[in-house]
Amino acid sequence: MFLHNFKYSFLFLLKNKSLVFWTFFFPIILGTFFYMTFSNIENNEKLKKINIAIINNEELKNDKLLLSVLGYLSEDNNNEIFSTIYTDLEKAKELLENKEIIGYLEIKNSKYLITIKENGIEQTIFKYIIDEIIETKIIIKDISSTEKNINLEELYNKINNNITKVVDMSSDNLSYTMIEYYTLIAMSCLYGGVFGMYAINNILANMSKQGARVAISSIKKRTLLLSSLLAAFLIQLIGSLLLLSYTIFILNVDYGNNIVNTLIMTVTGSIAGLTLGVAIAALFKTNENIKIGIILSITMLGSFLSGMMGITMKYIVDKNMPLLNIINPANMITDGFYSIYYYQSMDRFYFNIISLLIFSSIMVMISIVRLRSQKYDSI
Amino acid sequence: MKKIIEVKHLTKKYRKIKAIDNLSFYVFENEILGLLGPNGSGKTTTINAMLSLLSYDKGNICYLGKEITPDSYDIKKEIGVVFQEIAVFDELTVYENIDYFCGLYIEDKKIRKKYVDDAIKLVKLEQFVNYKPKALSGGLKRRLNIACGIAHKPKIIFLDEPTVAVDPQSRNNILEGIKKLRENGATIIYTTHYMEEVEKICDRIIILDKGKIICQGTKEELKQLTGIEEKVTIEINNLDRNHIEKFKKLQNVKNVEYRFENLEITFIKGKNNFTKLIDYLKKEKISYNKIYSEMPTLNDVFLELTGKDLKD
């Protein structure tokens, strides 16, 4: 009986085309739109290398600090800012005229002369870095004038290690658009609640006409519930894993290197979604469409608050209404994925897993209280 | 006869309104019991209470002497229900639907397959086994609804208005199917507000109104309960006034009217009124084209007892 009901529950949930579209394919389509939109934004926002020229003269050759810093900032090492050309003054002027460089630096009589043609962010960065170098040189000069025995080579190295570094925040290691994909998985997990709702509606006498027919059969209510919910969970999990695979293999979303934790988070999120759907099915004695509406509203609102439409919202809620995100299952899932990807420590991951399990337990308790009765006042 | 179901003092209230008011009746083994009543008379509520789906305020319901509860799986195993609304899954085919509901009672796959095939044959859906319910006409859907309720060969079958919104041909098929189920040994509780159906297939009838039983018995017994008249119409050309007066003096005649070549004679309750009239026509050598008698219907009974029509 368990297997029979499981088989058919699985079949009629899977054959429900609109349900499968909204839970399986809609998140994939949404993910593809995210990919198309955000990858362009990220590419546009990536810091481009700044083309500069340095006038190659005798004074430059003696300026070890400048050569060292510019060398570091021009290397292909993920921290490069400049694309530097060492040339003569005439050539530098020509390059500037042709806008092939944004400016050039000439050291003349120990003075650093920066020539630019226009004002802008790139010119500001160029000037800021040269100013930093000049200041550092002054500090070295001061130290060496007072400390006669100082090893200048060692001092240069120390300063080099502490010199201001401009880091590209939009590098692969810190992509804010990852949050969008994490909220998408969270949305998919919670959308799965619709499967749980359908599974319950189909077997309870006071929920649907089919449920009345099932309820008068000689199969135990416990067996019916467990087999139907297992079928719903399995389908929901397939949907979530399909989306997860799509984001990993097609959209190249980075979930960190811990695939086991990623899967644990997906399964736990799916359990939370399923129990949410069951609780809503049990709590509201109304038609299926209204129940679907309630589940979708909770899911969309939760996803929005956890940063689906922009990470700023997550920060605003975290800062001003932290309780809201603590009880928001979409945020628990999103934050869980984020913690796998971003943090070395697993504390935050475990916190989210435990929060989701507590959330699921509360939903189960609500459902048990509501589903306990076997006779109804009206059907 | 063996009492298979016993309902005693069943009362169900929705807030202050009594949907069922102190209902007591029996269902005998292998009979077709008709629960007749207008919409809102409490037929479906009675059935749902008998199925232990609805809670009720007073009374008890016993199957073979054992009170039914939601956990009475041994009793439930013997019950089949065809609800008023079509209760099938649109995502499953005709075969899958019947197999699913049958499988909630019958575990053995081989036996189940046979039962499902038998049910399909009974409701004549052989050509539609791979169709989904949406592709079926209203009548075919009703037949599928019945097959889903009876496939596990239950001993007690509740049929709650199974012919609502069904074309005459499908209705006849359904009624024939119900008779076959009884022939196969089932006891049937049949609710409807179509009196013709009840007259056609039911052995006993309970008429409900406002949650109360207003009368019960065989259809003959019910018709005897009231002093309902019999109306005979004779098509006679050029009948003179003398003859009309003579008809008025016949035994049990209450009223005589002659209009548009039709003589309408209303008899009060009595035996062999129709036969005596034909004898009189022969004796008086009155030639006629057509003669027919209209016996009182259950609707007339209902009208007599409640002052309103069954379909109201």
* Per-residue model confidence as pLDDT tens digits over A2-20: 999 999 999 989 998 888 8
User: Which of A11, A209, A375 lies nearest to residue B54, judging by beta carbons?
Assistant: A375
**Could you tell me which residue, A350 or A164, shows the higher pLDDT?**
A350
Task: State both tokens at B94.
Answer: 């005709």
pLDDT at res. A147: 66
For residue B14, the domain's CATH number is 3.40.50.300
Helices (H) and strands (E) in chain B, counts: 11, 14
pLDDT at residue B228 in the model? 66
CB contact under 8 A, A216 and B14: no
Domain match, B202 and B269 both: no
- Are B126 and B249 contained in the same domain? no
Chains A & B: contacts with CB separation below 8 Å: 85
Pick from A210, A371, A377 the residue to mutate for testing the B interface (most B CBs within 10 Å). Answer: A210
CB-hemisphere CA count at 13 Å for A378? Answer: 7
Which has more confidence, A138 or A373? Answer: A138
Q: Evaluate whether B191 touches B161 at the Cβ level (below 8 Å).
A: yes
Of A217, A375, A376, the CB nearest to B104: A217
Q: Judge whether residue B251 has pLDDT over 70.
A: yes
Mutation pick from A6, A8, A202 vs chain B, by most beta carbons of B within 10 Å, is A8
**Interface check A213 vs B, CB under 8 A:** yes
Does residue B164 belong to any structural domain of this protein?
A: yes
- A213, B55: Cβ pair inside 8 Å? no
In this predicted structure, which of B112-116, B142-146, B193-197, B224-228 has the lowest mean pLDDT?
Answer: B224-228
Measured between CB atoms, which of B54, B89, B105 is closest to A12? B89
Structural domain boundaries enclosing B266: 229-295
Average pLDDT over residues B301-310: 72
What pLDDT, on the 0 to 100 scale, is given for residue A4? 94
Q: What angle do CA B49, B50, B53 make, to 5 degrees?
A: 50
pLDDT at B130 over 50: yes
Q: A-chain residues within 8 Å CB-CB of B74? A: 218
- Range from A44-53, A363-372, B164-173 carrying the lowest mean pLDDT: A44-53
**A309-352 pLDDT, tens digit each:** 777 788 888 888 888 888 899 999 988 888 888 777 788 899 99
The C-alpha atoms of residue A318 and residue A150 are separated, in whole angstroms, by: 50
Instruction: Clarify whether residues B51 and B172 are in a common domain.
Output: yes
CB contact under 8 A, A212 and B83: yes
Smallest Cβ–Cβ distance between A378 and the set B14, B74, B86 belongs to B14
- The tokens describing B75, both together, are 């009793």
- Beta bridge partners of residue A101, listed in sequence order: none
Beta bridge partners of A116: A103
pLDDT number for residue A126 = 87
Domain boundaries, chain A: 2-42+176-371, 48-162
Over range B223-236, report the average pLDDT. 79
Q: Are residues B208 and B275 in the same domain?
A: no
Which residue among B86, B92, B104 sits closest to A12, beta carbon to beta carbon? B92
What's the pLDDT band for B100 if we cut at 50, 70, 90? very high
Q: Does B79 map to a domain? A: yes
Among candidates B48, B70, B89 on the partner chain, residue whose Cβ is nearest the Cβ of A379: B48
Q: What is the pLDDT of residue A232?
A: 93
- The listed range with the strongest mean pLDDT (A166-175, B128-137, B167-176) is B128-137
pLDDT (tens digit per residue) in B5-43: 999 999 999 888 889 999 999 999 999 999 988 888 888
**DSSP SS3 for B104:** coil
So what's the pLDDT on residue A161?
A: 59
B52/A217 Cβ within 8 A: no
Q: According to the model, what pLDDT value does residue B79 have?
A: 94
A257 confidence band (pLDDT: 50, 70, 90): confident
B279 and B155 belong to one structural domain: no
Q: Does A220 touch chain B (CB under 8 A)?
A: yes
List beta partners, residue B207. B36, B215
Q: Which CATH architecture has domain A48-162?
A: 3-Layer(aba) Sandwich (3.40)
Q: Which of A5, A208, A216 sits opposite B53 (nearest CB)?
A: A216
Q: Please, which pLDDT band fits residue A173 given cuts at 50, 70 and 90?
A: very low
Domains: count for chain B: 2
- pLDDT beyond 90 at A356: yes
pLDDT digits (tens, 9 = 90+) for B38-52: 888 888 899 999 998
The chain A residue lying nearest B81, using CA atoms, is A213
Residue-level pLDDT at B36? 87
> What is the band of A142 on the pLDDT scale with cuts at 50, 70, 90?
confident
* Residue A246: per-residue pLDDT: 93
Q: Same domain for B289 and B211? A: no
The band of A43, judged by pLDDT with boundaries at 50, 70 and 90, is: low
Q: Tens digit of pLDDT for each residue in A121-130? A: 888 888 888 8
A42-56, A145-159, A272-286 — which is least confidently predicted?
A145-159
Transcribe B21-32 into DSSP letters: EEEEEEEETT-E
- Residue B46: inside a domain, yes or no? yes
Element (H or E) spanning B121, and its range? helix B109-122
Per CB-CB distance under 8 Å, the chain B contacts of A12 are 89, 91-92
Report pLDDT for B275: 86
Question: Is A213 in Cβ contact with B101 (below 8 Å)?
Answer: yes
- pLDDT, one tens digit per residue, over A87-122 is 998 999 999 999 899 999 998 888 889 999 888 888
Q: From the candidates B104, B142, B152, which should be mutated to test the interface with A, based on the most A CB atoms within 10 A? A: B104
The rounded Cα A7 to chain-centroid distance in angstroms is: 37
Q: In this structure, which long-range contacts are made by residues B82-85, counting pairs with CB atoms below 8 Å and at least 24 apart in sequence? A: B82/B145, B82/B146, B82/B148, B82/B149, B82/B150, B82/B157, B82/B158, B82/B159, B82/B160, B82/B162, B83/A209, B83/A212, B83/A213, B83/B145, B83/B149, B83/B160, B84/B44, B84/B160, B84/B161, B84/B162, B84/B164, B85/A209
Quickly state the pLDDT bin for A169 (edges 50, 70, 90): very low
Q: Residue A167: its pLDDT value, please?
A: 45
In this structure, is residue B139 part of a structural domain? Answer: yes
Same domain, B177 and B272: no
CA A242 to chain centre: 18
Question: What residues of A are in contact with residue B86 (Cβ under 8 Å)?
Answer: 209
Locus of tokens 């859906």: B125
Q: Chain B contact for A323, CB < 8 A?
A: no
**C-alpha dihedral, B216 to B218 to B220 to B225, nearest 10°:** -20
Say whether pLDDT at A75 is over 80.
no
- Nearest-CA distance from B34 to chain A in Å? 21
pLDDT tens string A225-245: 999 999 999 999 999 999 989
Residue B303 lies in a domain: no
Q: Is the pLDDT of residue A162 over 60?
A: no
B87 with A15: Cβ contact below 8 A: no
Q: Over 80: is that where the pLDDT of A172 sits?
A: no
Give pLDDT, residue A341: 80
Residue A310 backbone class (left: φ over 0; alpha: ψ -120 to 50; beta: rest): left
Q: Is A371 on the interface with B (CB under 8 A)?
A: no
Q: Which of B224, B250, B273 is the last residue of a domain?
A: B224
Percent residues over pLDDT 70 in chain A? 88
Cα–Cα distance measured from residue B6 to residue B55, given in angstroms and rounded to the nearest whole number: 17
Given B187, B203, B224, which residue is the final one in a domain? B224
Res B207 pLDDT > 50:
yes
Q: Where are the alpha helices (DSSP H) in chain A?
A: 2-14, 17-20, 26-45, 58-62, 64-74, 89-97, 121-146, 152-162, 177-191, 193-201, 209-215, 221-245, 259-283, 288-305, 311-320, 322-326, 329-342, 347-371
Looking at residue B309, its pLDDT comes to 66
pLDDT of B296 > 80? The answer is no
Contact A218 B105 (CB under 8 A): yes
Whether residue B271 is found in the same domain as residue B285? yes
Q: Looking at residue B252, which CATH number applies to its domain?
A: 3.30.70.100
Band the pLDDT of A153: cuts 50, 70, 90: low
